[in-house]
Structures are given as C-alpha cells and as structure tokens.
C-alpha cells in the first residue's frame, strides 16, 4: 500500500457503508478522502488511463473522477461511482474501506487459523507440543464461551497432532 503525506484539511464526519456487514459510523479526518484520491490517481496512472477513459469505464463524468482524485467527496457514505472506479482499477474488496479507516470488523473465528498456525510454528521452532495442545484447547474453549462456531475444516483437536494429546488445561 502506498504512503501518502498528510493533507491539511478539517476533520469531517461521514457514514461509510460496509459491504456485507451492514454499516458502521466512522469518524475520519480529511486525509482519508485525500488519501483515497491519491491512491485512485496513482492506480489510474499506473494503468496509463486518462481521467476520461476511467470515467467512461465507470459510467461517470471526467469531472467526477477529478473530484475523487482531489479528495472531494460530498454527502454521506461512499459514492456508488467511486465504488465502480476502484473496482475498474482492480482494487481488492475492502481496500477502499481500509483507506477510509473502516475496514470490516474481524471476528474471533477469523483469527482462529492464525492461532493454530502460530502454535504449530512454535512447535517447529522447538516448543513442547503438549503446550501447543493446551494452547489450542484453550483457544477452542474461548471460542465456545464466546458462542463462536469454527468451521469443521478449521477446527483441530489434539488428536490431529502426530505427538498425540497433551495434558488437559486446568480451566474452570
């Protein structure tokens, strides 16, 4: 992701709609739209497109593309035209929201795979596999207490490990 210098603008309050997860009220400062504008400009230039070409592809006016690149966005939410622009530029889903500081909220289940990878990496680096097993059992207990279901393809038990089960965690 590119680094953009700060822009001297006043804070703004906006309502950003997040795809697939409802909406979240986000308080941002002016640099967010300015940062998005600079990223749109850089993406367009890297594709060797003119503002007019991008505008035509996104079904908006060249002036609107120019406004987006200058960080001038009015009204609440993310304009549909800007969503079409970044899609045409090939941005991955969520990048626009991330630049605005409104990345979709993560859940404990999203991080479970990272926890298991971390535990396995520690064993590979020399940690006791029984401690890994306790760690994974504790992670599964935390998920259960939070009422979070982990897909069966991601859930692992100590029987899945070649070293077999270790001691049970002493957790009430």
- pLDDT, one tens digit per residue, over 48-72 is 999 999 999 999 999 999 999 998 8
Pair 122, 91 in one domain: no
Task: Report if pTM > 0.85.
Answer: no
Pair 94, 138 in one domain: no
Structural domain count, the chain: 2
How confident is the model at residue 152, as a pLDDT? 56
Instruction: Tell me if 171 is assigned to some domain.
Output: no
How confident is the model at residue 78, as a pLDDT? 87
| SS3 state of residue 120 | helix
Domain final residue, candidates 63, 78, 99:
99
* Average pLDDT rounded to a whole number, residues 26-41: 70
Pair 17, 62 in one domain: yes
Pair 62, 80 in one domain: yes
| SS3 state of residue 26 | strand
Pair 113, 92 in one domain: no
Instruction: Tell me if 170 is assigned to some domain.
Output: no
Pair 95, 137 in one domain: no
Question: pLDDT tens digits for 134-150?
Answer: 999 998 888 888 888 77
Query: What is the 8-class DSSP label of residue 148?
Result: P
Question: pLDDT tens digits for 160-170?
Answer: 444 444 444 45
Pair 88, 114 in one domain: no
- Tokens representing 166 are 């270790």
Which range marks the domain in which residue 126 is found? 108-160
* Contact (CB, 8 A) for 16 and 97: yes
Radius of gyration of the chain from its Cα atoms, rounded to whole angstroms = 23
Mention every residue, 6+ apart, whose C-beta is less than 8 A from residue 102.
16, 18, 24, 26, 28
CA-angle at 68, arms to 76 and 52, nearest 5°: 135
Pair 84, 141 in one domain: no
Question: pLDDT tens digits for 105-123?
Answer: 567 777 787 888 889 999 9
Pair 94, 127 in one domain: no
Domain final residue, candidates 54, 70, 99:
99
What is the rounded end-to-end Cα distance, in angstroms, of the chain? Answer: 44
> How many of the other CB atoms lie within 10 Å of CB of 148?
14
How confident is the model at residue 83, as a pLDDT? 93
Pair 93, 115 in one domain: no
| SS3 state of residue 46 | helix
Instruction: Tell me if 168 is assigned to some domain.
Output: no
Q: Could you give the dihedral angle defined by the CA atoms of residues 58, 60, 63 and 65, in that order, rounded to the nearest 10 degrees?
A: -30
Q: How far is CA 28 from CA 33, 124, 172, in A?
A: 9, 42, 42
Instruction: Tell me if 44 is assigned to some domain.
Output: yes
Question: What are the two backbone dihedrals, phi and then psi, of residue 25, each rounded to the nearest 5 degrees?
Answer: -75, 130
Domain final residue, candidates 57, 81, 99:
99
Pair 156, 88 in one domain: no
Pair 95, 146 in one domain: no
């Amino acid at each position: 992701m590119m680094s953009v210098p700060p822009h001297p603008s006043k804070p703004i309050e906006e309502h950003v709609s997040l795809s697939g997860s409802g909406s979240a009220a986000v308080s941002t400062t002016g640099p967010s739209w300015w940062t998005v504008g600079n990223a749109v400009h850089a993406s367009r230039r890297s594709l060797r497109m003119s503002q007019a070409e991008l505008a035509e592809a996104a079904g908006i006016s060249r002036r609107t593309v120019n406004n987006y690149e200058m960080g001038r966005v009015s009204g609440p939410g993310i304009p549909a035209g800007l969503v079409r622009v970044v899609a045409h530029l090939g941005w991955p889903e969520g990048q626009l929201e991330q630049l605005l500081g409104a990345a979709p909220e993560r859940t404990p289940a999203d991080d479970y795979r990272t926890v298991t990878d971390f535990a396995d990496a520690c064993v590979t680096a020399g940690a006791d596999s029984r401690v890994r097993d306790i760690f994974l059992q504790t992670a599964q207990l935390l998920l259960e207490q939070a009422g979070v279901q982990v897909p069966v393809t991601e859930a692992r038990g100590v029987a899945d490990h070649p070293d077999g089960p270790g001691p049970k965690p002493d957790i009430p």
